[in-house]
Structure 1
Amino acid sequence: MPRPYLLLSTVAAVTVASGVAIVGLARGNEPATIVEAPHPSASASRSAPSSAPAVPPAAEPPAGLPVIAYAKGPAGLPADPAPASTAAITEALRPETTVALYDAPGGTPRAVLPARISGLRVLAPIVARQNGWVAVLAPAANRRIGWVPAENAGWTAEPLRDQLVVDLSERRLSWLREGAEKGRWTVAIGTRQTPTPLGRTFVMGRTGTSGPVYAGLDALVLGSVPEEPEKLAASLRKAHTGIHAWTNTSVFGDDVSNGCVRTPAAVQKKLLAQIDPGTPVIVTA
């Protein structure tokens, strides 16, 4: 069985040590060339084209910089500037060991993104490129990005082909591959008190589930976390949202979960067969 991860669950307990996880889950400046009249004693002069903007240098990360963990997200990172964008995201950053996340190109290092989080291989979608830096969606946080130098930064780029879009107003999950819709389904989402987090996030990986209501199928673990953890049971306050099967078909089209997206079993089977880690998930209002 895959390693279990704590997800927002409508069931009170999750047993990690025993290998059981219960789920339910409760991002050409061409300069003008100026020609002046020649000085009587000089030839005509022209301004030389300016060079490309310099890449802001990366400050050395300090010792003891916080490492992002499953139950502890990063602090001090900027907000995602386009959380509701459904534009295709085609690359993900894959750390070779660890990389520091900065709060701006050439800014302050705020957190360490490890190669794995609780055993899940990290693939963070790249949402922007600017002046020799790339911005990625931060895991274990909602609507936060971190900046990484594009060159010699200890990471590689991985292609992405899929995208999941959750429309909360329609209670609908859509799957797109290279921009073409492959399927759409009515699902269940979080309640007003325990909402499904808005914005861009991504699939971190998958985990096993326990209980017949999950149809014996794994859940997809997302990078997003509860919006207001204090409204949840203490055991769920450091959990993640996810996408998982639900056998009670009466819930589809309703706001009933603690934040997760509940799908028909046949849909979950399809997603598990097709959706890879790093796949962007956009939750819109």
Structure 2
Amino acid sequence: MPAAAPAPPGLPVIDYAAAPAGFPADPHPGDTRPLTQGLAPTRKIPVYDAPGGRPLAFLAPTISDVPLTVPIAQRRTGWTAVLLPSANRRLAWVPPTGGWTTVALPDQIVVERRPHRLTWFHSGRAVRSWPVSLGMPGQETPLGRTFVLGRTPPPEEVYGGVDIFALGAVPDDPDAVPTGLKGAHIGLHSWHDDDTLGRNVTNGCIRLTRGAQRLLLDRVPPGTGLLVVDQLHTPPATA
């Protein structure tokens, strides 16, 4: 088992701002298999660029006062790879030195860009599907695996009065985002009307009906994996 190098105390703590550079790319960003376990830090823990590699940052138990659970994507020689918060298609490696617990993640959300469809899976079975609006040209909804980071109250009336799911993903091109959304994560949220469902009109977020958002808020816990693909090879058959 590769040993973990001591982490300098001055390393950055990953928060809502963009994660530090240097973490490895997710080797399977479009993998449709659900991520069924999450890692929840119980104290500040160092994360590395590889098993036995360089410590680059710390993960804390919370981000912006929201408890943090990150999906486990891979295990190797005693080390655990998790999807990195505040970054797209990046992994962080956690050594087997404690400071975290595992959490069961029975749900998965899959978003297909071409048919503009979101499907909620539970225990591997498709439960419900809904039409969604996605990112406009130049601000496309990022492809790949991410996860539900946490929920936040709607900041404006246009969100339909329903809480927002902030995702671990950020815009692929931060400079293309309007000034008022600089630094924001990709969100899963409702809107004040459903007139634009099925179209590419957002700043990268995933927009669905208020009823669907309320159901997901009630049933889907933080840490749940969310996968964005162009299209599934086999359309989901909902129960």
Deviation at 1:212, TM superposition (A): 3.5
What stretches of structure 2 of length at least 5 have no aligned partner? 231-239
The 1:233/1:212 distance shift into structure 2, 3 A limit, reads: closer
- Structure label with greater radius of gyration: 1
Letter in 1 for 2:90: R
| 1:127 lines up with 2:73 in the alignment | yes
CA distance in 2, matches of 1:238, 1:211: 17
Aligned equivalents of 1:198, 1:98: Cα separation in 2: 29
Q: Tell me the equivalent position of 2:12.
A: 66
What code does the residue aligned with 1:198 have? L
Q: Which residue matches 1:275?
A: 220
* Residue of structure 2 equivalent to 1:180: 125
What is the CA distance between 1:236 and its match in structure 2? 1.9
Aligned pair 1:117/2:63, yes or no? yes
Q: Give a deviation string over 1:129-183, Cα, whole Å, max 9, x none.
A: 111111000000000000012x332111111100000111111000000100110
Quick check: 1:263 aligned with 2:208? Answer: yes
1:226 aligns with 2:171: yes
8 Å Cα contact 1:74/1:140 also seen in 2: no
Map 1:232-243 to 2 at 5 A.
232-243=177-188
Question: Distance between the aligned counterparts of 1:124 and 1:81, measured in 2?
Answer: 17
Work out whether 1:216 is the aligned partner of 2:176. Answer: no
Are 1:75 and 1:111, in contact at CA under 8 Å, matched by a contact in 2?
A: no
Give the match's secondary structure for 1:57: coil
1:244-284 Cα distance to aligned partner (Å, 9 max, x none): 11132220000000011010111111111111100000011
Please state how far the C-alpha of 1:106 moved relative to its aligned partner: 0.6
| Pair 1:153 & 2:104 matched | no
Identical counterparts, % of pairs = 45
In structure 1, runs of 5+ residues without a counterpart are 1-54
Q: Return the offset for 1:214.
A: 1.9
Residue 73 of structure 2 corresponds to residue 140 of structure 1: no
The answer to whether the 8 A contact 2:19-2:87 is kept is yes
Post-superposition offset of 1:191 = 0.7
1:213 Cα offset (Å): 2.8
- The corresponding residue for 2:234 is none
1:195 CA drift (Å)? 1.0
- CA–CA distance in structure 2, aligned partners of residues 257 and 75 of structure 1: 27
Q: Which string of whole-angstrom CA distances, capped at 9 and with x for unpartnered residues, describes residues 191-236 of structure 1?
A: 1111111111100110101443322110111010011111122332
For residues 230 and 269 of structure 1, the distance between their equivalents in structure 2, rounded to whole angstroms, comes to 31
Q: Distance in 2 between matches of 1:274 and 1:228?
A: 31
Deviation at 1:85, TM superposition (A): 0.5
2:22 to 76, 82, 89: 76
Partner of 1:103: 49
Query: What secondary structure, in the 3-state scheme, does the structure 2 residue paired with 1:206 have?
Result: strand
Tell me how far apart the structure 2 counterparts of residues 234 and 216 of structure 1 sit (CA, whole Å). Answer: 23
Question: Is 1:164 equivalent to 2:109 in the alignment?
Answer: yes
Give the TM-score, by structure 2 length: 0.93
**Residue 251 (1) aligns with residue 207 (2):** no
CA distance in 2, matches of 1:250, 1:72: 32
Count of matched residue positions in the alignment of Structure 1 and Structure 2: 230
| Counterpart code for 1:108 | R
Structure 1 residue 127 displacement after superposition: 0.4
Match of 1:17 in 2: none
Tell me the CA shift for residue 111 of structure 1. 1.1
Given that 1:165 and 1:175 are in contact with CA atoms closer than 8 Å, whether structure 2 keeps it comes out as yes
TM-align CA RMSD: 1.1
Match of residue 39 from structure 2: 93
Task: Give the number of the structure whose residues are more often strand, by fraction.
Answer: 2
